[in-house]
Structures are given as structure tokens and as C-alpha cells.
Amino acid sequence: MAQEKVVLAYSGGLDTTAIIPWLKENYGYEVICCCIDCGQGEELDGLSERAKASGASKLYIEDIVDDFCDNYIVPCVQAGAIYENKYLLGTAMARPGIAAKLVEIARKEGAVAICHGATGKGNDQIRFELGIKALAPDIKVIAPWRSDKWKLQSRQDEIDYCKAHGINLPFSTDQSYSRDRNLWHISHEGLELEDPSQEPNYEHLLMLTTPPEKAPDKPEYVTMTFEKGVPTSVNGKKMKVSDIIKELNEIGGRNGVGIVDIVENRVVGMKSRGVYETPGGTILMEAHAQLEELCLDRATMEMKKEMGAKLAQVCYEGKWFTPLCDAIQAFVKSTQEYVTGEVKFKLYKGNIIKAGSTSPYSLYSESLASFTTGDLYDHHDAEGFITLWGLPLKVRAMKLAENQKTK
């Protein structure tokens, strides 16, 4: 009888390295590692040797950078999806794409299970597992940190466990920030950030972004174009979305843009504090919003804000592969039909400052908006609106006055 297989979501870190022998010892599975490349960069170096040295039969390194950008980032940018008014969903947006690729590899290998290294305290366990259940309800999910068989409670435990299984790897017990990196952002948790009363040690912490006070003293101008809500160029150079984000990361990073310190509400019920670096994403979100101000009518803008907040919650909670998420995206996509044009802004010490927007579909009319009398609008027309909109206020005021008289 052939040995059953498990696909392990493999980062190459100590946790998922220790999980390889643990899976073989406790389940007897053949372990197939799968590392999903969402733009982690040099973090992927040397993973193949490490995975095989730890007992994996093979390692897949799957590049989903463009899929991540086109099918997860762009819909969230178009929606203006920001969780709790601050978090640009860098980790949350990547998880459904990772789950989909894990399922694809599991199907290809005929695996009976998928394993992830997310802890029982975090959001990622929910995101991974809801994604896997939605796409492959027949595949078993193994979460070691929630298993009674998992006895490793510290980095030292994991290092000792690996050594006991003949695995000597360059990991130490030194404490550092817990980070998640992809093309969109880097998140930082741990150390002084665990105490909300403490200021972040930005000199030690930041990896993508210059602290604003150390950014250049001269502003940098940037021009972007969009077609139907999708970014198409930066400073006159046409690029695919992933390359636009890379370019904006460089530009925003040197100008101190996109640093967020937030205490957020996790899905599991606890609050957590983290610092997020999202230089390119912050610029892209702001540029898109700047163009929408010209192109969308008031009623659509109001409803879209509600849908954007809802999409942020749905994404954060791992409910991407749901009918609700599909419906929200369909609405948002319909609003982007005429979000086409050019935006210009300047970056200065962490700030994004408008410097002009144009669109062939702009709803702005200088004749209507001008303080001088234009051809399209008669000031007397306002009387009807004021009468109509002011009627409820007038009636309420009259009723209050009547009540005061009767007292």
C-alpha cells in the first residue's frame, strides 16, 4: 500500500521545519513541502536544501505574485478595503491565494491532508482552513499547534526536537520580531510592540521604509494612470501591477510613506499590536481614491464605502471564497467602469499630497462649481433643494417649540 501524502505549507522557518519530522513521526505521511512565493524575496533562498534535509520528499516553490496582485490586491484597492480604518490587509489578502495553491498541489500529488504552521492565537489558522474547506472539503487539515500531539512550546524545544531527529539547522533562540513579508507589505509583531505603551523602535524595526523624519527634505512628485480602476503606469512608464507595486515600494519607502502602528481586533477575539510597512500599497490606495473623487457620483461613493469596509472584514476573517465576497466584488467592479485617468501627487516625509487629477470621465464641472455664475446653474435652483431637504428639520423644530409651550 502506497504511503499517504501530506502537503505542508512551508516557509522555511523553525516552526515549519520542525513540523516535517513531526508529521512523519505522528502520522507516517510522506511530507511534500510547498512554499508559496507572494514576493518574499530573499527569504526563499536555500529552502530546497533545508526542506529535504529535514525529511521532506520534495519541495514546490510556487510563484503566485501576479495572481496575488491581479486577483486579490486589485479588488481590494478598487474597493478601498481597509480593516479598522488602518490595516491594508497585506497578510489577509495573500492567504486565499496561498490556500488555493496548496489545494492545487495537494490534488496534483494525491495528498490526503494539508498542514499549516499557524498558531491557535492568530488569524491565519482561520484564513487557511476556511479557504481549504471552501475549495477542497474532502481534504483533511492538520494544525499542529492545536494538536494534543504537539509538545513543542518554545524555539528551544523545536531546535532540540530537530537535533534529536538528526537535523542541524542555523536557527537560534535569539528573540526577534515576528514578521510576515510579501510584495504588498511587511508586518512586525513582538518585542516592545507587545506593550502598547511603548514607542516602536523604528531604527531597529523598519525594513522597507525610511523613518519620516529621515526622509529627504525635498518632495518627490509622482504621476500614475489608471484604466477602469486598475493601475497602468508610474511616471509615464507602463507596467503590470506587480511591477507598479515594486516601483511604488521603492518610491514610498525612501519618502517615509506607509508606516502604521495599530492595535487591531483579531478574529479569535483578542487584541494584538503590530506595525505594518506598506509604502507602495499606501500610495496606490490613495492615488485610486484621488481619481474616484472625480469619477464617481455621491450615491455610488457612499455605498462603495460601505462595501469596501465589508470586503475588508470578509477578507480579514478568511471568507474570500464565499458568495458574499463574490457579490461585493461584482458591485465594486461595476463602479470601476469609468475610473480612468491620471493622478499626480507629491511625497514628503511620510505624507501624500495631492498635485492634480484628470479624467475623461470626470464629473467635475468648473461651470457648475465655480463661485462665479456659470452657464449651467442658476443660483435660484437651490431654493427647491433647501425647501425639500430642510422640511424634516423645520417640522422637528416646530414640534419641539410646541412641546416647550405646553410644559
CATH code for the part of the protein at 3-79+87-163:
3.40.50.620
Where in the sequence numbering do the catalytic residues fall?
15, 95, 124, 178
CA dist list (Å): 318 to 92, 130, 135, 187, 406: 7, 6, 13, 18, 57
Which of 341, 246, 253 is closest to 290 using CA atoms?
341
| Residues annotated in a binding site for L-aspartate | 119, 123-124
Contact 385, 368 (CB under 8 A): no
Q: How are the residues of the chain apportioned to helix, strand and coil, as percentages rounded to the nearest 5?
A: 45, 20, 35
Count Cβ atoms below 10 Å from residue 250 Cβ, excluding itself: 13
Count Cβ atoms below 10 Å from residue 254 Cβ, excluding itself: 17
d(C-alpha 205, C-alpha 276), whole Å: 10
Phi, psi dihedral angles at 185 (to 5 degrees):
-160, 175
Q: To which residue does cell 530537530 refer? A: 162
Q: Would you give the DSSP letter of residue 269?
A: S
Q: Roughly what angle, to the nearest 10 degrees, separates helices 124-135 and 90-109?
A: 40
What's the distance, CA 188 to chain centroid? 14
Q: In this predicted structure, what is the pLDDT of residue 316?
A: 98
Residue 385, class by beta-carbon neighbours within 10 Å (0-12 exposed, 13-18 middle, 19+ buried)?
Answer: exposed
Which of 208, 180, 194 is closest to 282 using CA atoms?
208
Q: In this predicted structure, what is the pLDDT of residue 44?
A: 79
| Residues annotated in a binding site for L-citrulline | 87, 123, 127, 178, 187, 264, 276
This prediction has a pTM of 0.92
Tell me the domain boundaries of the chain. Answer: 3-79+87-163, 176-295+338-356
Q: In this predicted structure, what is the pLDDT of residue 407?
A: 64
The architecture that CATH gives domain 176-295+338-356 is Alpha-Beta Complex (3.90)
pLDDT < 70 stretches in the chain: 1, 175, 367-378, 381, 385, 388, 399, 407
Query: Alpha helix (H) ranges present in 28-165?
Result: 47-53, 65-68, 74-79, 90-109, 124-135, 155-164
Q: Residue 34 corresponds to which cell in the numbers above?
A: 510547498
- What type of residue is 237? K
| Residues annotated in a binding site | 9-17, 87, 117, 119, 123-124, 127, 178, 187, 264, 276
Rg over CA atoms, the chain? 26
CA atoms within 13 A on the CB side of 340: 6
d(C-alpha 47, C-alpha 318), whole Å: 27
d(C-alpha 335, C-alpha 302), whole Å: 12
d(C-alpha 348, C-alpha 251), whole Å: 11
Contact 159, 171 (CB under 8 A): yes
CA angle at 264 for the pair 332 and 8, rounded to the nearest 5°:
80
Give the list of residues 6+ apart from residue 200 with CB closer than 8 angstroms, or none: 188, 192, 193, 261, 275
| Residues annotated in a binding site for ATP | 9-17, 117
- What type of residue is 377? Y
Phi, psi dihedral angles at 59 (to 5 degrees):
-130, 130
* Helix (H) or strand (E) segment spanning residue 27: helix 14-27
Contact 230, 209 (CB under 8 A): no
Q: In this predicted structure, what is the pLDDT of residue 367?
A: 65
